């Protein structure tokens, strides 16, 4: 979009309610002004939202006498991102998670297609949960005209305990138009993935056999091998499922033999990780949208408090997962959240309530010791 097109489009939306500053042409950031007696802040915010719908972002400065609207830029036309590479990665991840699922059920996925088929349920459940999470982000981002790629699935197969994938991610190609967009896009993924996790947990626990049959299934999978000394921890919500379905007979060191339950367990873990209120994790988006720059101090404080706890869990419980996450946070995720195109747009009460609800979901899904050796 050229400067003249940007000015023309903005004037069409403003409709004379703000006066155009012609000198602002020289700075390539059009500026519109008006007295606070002639226009309200609510009207200016409405103008901003109309501009954002056209992928034109702006900032507002309000004093006792004047309101200034500064148009920052118009994004380029939405480029159609390729989907072929995404599809290849998705197919490869189906293969890696299917092979992993077969291994977890005591089968050799490389022996025959029949053996590999034992991993299909796990692959379907896990990838559905991850896909729900990413498409939650994707569709809401598209609603706000934020340019974003299709999900990238990352396949990984190891002949050891592993989910069969390194996860999924999206690439954002344009700035966030404001706090509302940041909040809505940030929360959509965890809520969608959380809902899918609950569905598979319900199905998995509902299909769980009685104690005698359960022990027979586990014994058949082990086939005389040693009992696993790798245990999976769980939070309040997973414990709730155990109690509701009276599944205390399910050993936490054999949980991964049951594909829907294990996929649901991973889904809760992924939800908790993503809702950590740090940096550009989904929880970091929510905290920044709710509290602005104070989010960085909260993230630093929380991280500092968790370091000694992580050390204790590593030494006493042989649980190394949090050490890996601390390294990821320090190297890649960091603590500072980039500003949106308009940090002045405040969230309404419904979004604030939803934000606090997401913190409750985090507490319900969180497990202090997700994986440990015993």
Residue 73, pLDDT score? 57
Cα–Cα distance for residue pair 279/334, rounded to 1 Å: 5
Q: How far is CA 255 from the centre of its chain?
A: 25
pLDDT, tens only, 190-219: 999 999 999 999 999 999 988 888 888 888
- The dihedral over CA atoms of 12, 15, 16, 20, expressed in degrees to the nearest 10, equals -30
Residue 77, pLDDT score? 44
Quick one: which H or E segment has residue 152?
strand 152-155
Domain ranges of the chain: 3-74, 84-373
Beta bridge partners of 232: 371
Chain length of the chain: 374
**CB-hemisphere CA count at 13 Å for 73?**
9
DSSP alpha helix (H) spans, the chain: 3-14, 41-53, 84-104, 113-116, 120-143, 179-206, 211-222, 236-244, 259-274, 282-291, 294-317, 321-328, 349-365
Highest mean pLDDT, choosing among 72-86, 100-114, 206-220 = 100-114
Cα–Cα distance for residue pair 35/30, rounded to 1 Å: 17
Cα–Cα distance for residue pair 17/57, rounded to 1 Å: 18
Least confident segment among 17-21, 257-261, 308-312, 359-363: 308-312
Q: Which CATH number fits domain 3-74: 3.30.70, 3.90.1070, 1.10.287, 3.40.1350?
A: 3.90.1070
pLDDT, tens only, 318-337: 777 777 778 888 877 777 77
What is the reported pTM? 0.80
Please check the confidence at residue 126 and state whether its pLDDT lies above 50.
yes
Query: ∠ CA 265-337-75 to the nearest 5 degrees?
Result: 105
């Amino acid at each position: 979009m050229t400067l003249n097109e940007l000015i023309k489009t903005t004037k069409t939306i403003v409709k004379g309610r703000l006066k155009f500053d012609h000198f602002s042409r020289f700075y390539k950031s059009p500026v519109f002004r008006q007295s606070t007696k002639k226009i309200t802040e609510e009207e200016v915010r409405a103008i901003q939202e109309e501009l954002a719908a056209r992928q034109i972002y702006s900032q507002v400065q309000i004093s006792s006498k004047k309101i200034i609207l500064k148009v920052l830029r118009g994004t380029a036309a939405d480029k159609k991102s390729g989907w072929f590479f995404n599809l290849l990665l998705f197919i490869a991840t189906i293969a890696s998670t299917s092979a992993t699922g077969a291994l977890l059920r005591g089968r050799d996925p490389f022996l025959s297609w029949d053996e590999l088929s034992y991993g299909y349920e796990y692959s379907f459940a896990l990838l559905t949960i991850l896909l729900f999470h990413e498409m939650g982000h994707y569709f809401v981002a598209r609603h706000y005209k934020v340019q974003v790629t299709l999900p990238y699935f990352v396949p990984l197969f190891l002949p050891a305990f592993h989910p069969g994938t390194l996860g999924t991610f999206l690439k954002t190609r344009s700035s966030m138009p404001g706090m509302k967009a940041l909040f809505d896009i940030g929360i959509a993924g965890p809520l969608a993935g959380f809902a899918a996790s609950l569905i598979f947990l319900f199905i998995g626990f509902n299909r769980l056999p009685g104690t005698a049959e359960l022990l027979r299934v586990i014994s058949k999978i082990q086939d005389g091998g040693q009992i696993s000394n790798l245990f999976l921890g769980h939070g309040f919500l997973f414990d709730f499922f155990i109690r509701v379905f009276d599944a205390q007979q399910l050993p936490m060191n054999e949980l991964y033999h049951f594909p829907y339950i294990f996929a649901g367990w991973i889904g809760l873990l992924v939800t908790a990780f993503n809702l950590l209120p740090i940096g550009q994790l989904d929880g970091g988006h929510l905290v920044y949208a709710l509290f602005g720059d104070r989010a960085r101090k909260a993230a630093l404080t929380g991280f500092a408090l968790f370091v000694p706890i992580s050390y204790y869990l590593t030494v006493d419980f042989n649980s190394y997962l949090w050490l890996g996450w601390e390294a990821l946070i320090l190297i890649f995720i960091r603590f500072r959240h980039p500003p949106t195109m308009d940090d002045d747009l405040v969230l309404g009460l419904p979004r604030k309530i939803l934000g606090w609800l997401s913190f409750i979901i985090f507490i319900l899904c969180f497990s202090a010791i997700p994986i440990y050796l015993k």
